Amino acid sequence: MWPVAALFMAISAPAAAQDTPAPAQTAPSALTALPDRPYTINPGDQIEIYVWGEERLQRSIRVLPDGTFSFPLVGRVMAEGMLPEQVETAISNGLASQYRGDPPQVTVTIQAPSGFTFSVIGRVRGPSTFTPGRYVNLIEAITMAGGPDEFANLDNITIIRKKGKELTSIKFRLGGAMKGNLSETAAQAIPQIQVGDTVIVP
């Protein structure tokens, strides 16, 4: 896949530069996927909070639907969309006023990432709702559903995504990639599945 900047430079290059023979290009050898991103906390996730030296403050807490949770001496903490280390900082800052010196170290771990779910329906071998505990892309999501069946139309896949109170749809063609023809798909970024997505394979 050519970077956007490289394509722009190639198009806008002076005519003189075009006289130089361009090196032969080969077809991309792999699909382009968005970089993996670390898992952030979602409503419904079960998290464990440990305050070092303060066993009375150790808690296992489920994040509420509004993305928050309550913690002793700190109050309400926003967790949705946060990395565990960001929640650690928020709790530590909240505890700072309770200690004369530095506040104790806080450790936050995700026990059950049940808040990140998505569904795959239609022409797949195992349609279901999945809770992978990590972010996945479209190909991985279909693979988790057992892969497409023999009648699937992989050139008309739809991702239904909720944004606030509205639903949006994302169309994607995956047929060539599944047949080993990477040139059709390599110029596109494989969509990352988001919380609550529904993948429809017609």
Are the C-beta atoms of 117 and 94 separated by less than 8 Å? no
Looking at residue 165, what is its pLDDT?
Answer: 82
Q: Identify the pLDDT of residue 145.
A: 97
Domains of the chain by range and CATH?
A: 46-112 (3.30.1950.10), 116-201 (3.10.560.10)
* Predicted structure pTM score: 0.64
pLDDT surpasses 60 at 12: no
- What is the tens place of the pLDDT at every residue in 154-194? 999 999 998 878 999 999 988 876 666 666 555 457 888 99
Give the pLDDT band of residue 3 (cuts 50, 70, 90): very low
The residue behind tokens 């394979």 is: 201
Q: Could you give the CA distance from residue 130 to residue 120 in angstroms, rounded to a whole number?
A: 8
Pick from 1-10, 53-62, 166-175: least confident? 1-10
Query: How many Å apart are CA 91 and CA 57, to the nearest integer?
Result: 11
pLDDT in tens, 77-97: 999 999 999 999 999 999 999
Report the alpha-carbon angle 154-160-166, nearest 5.
155
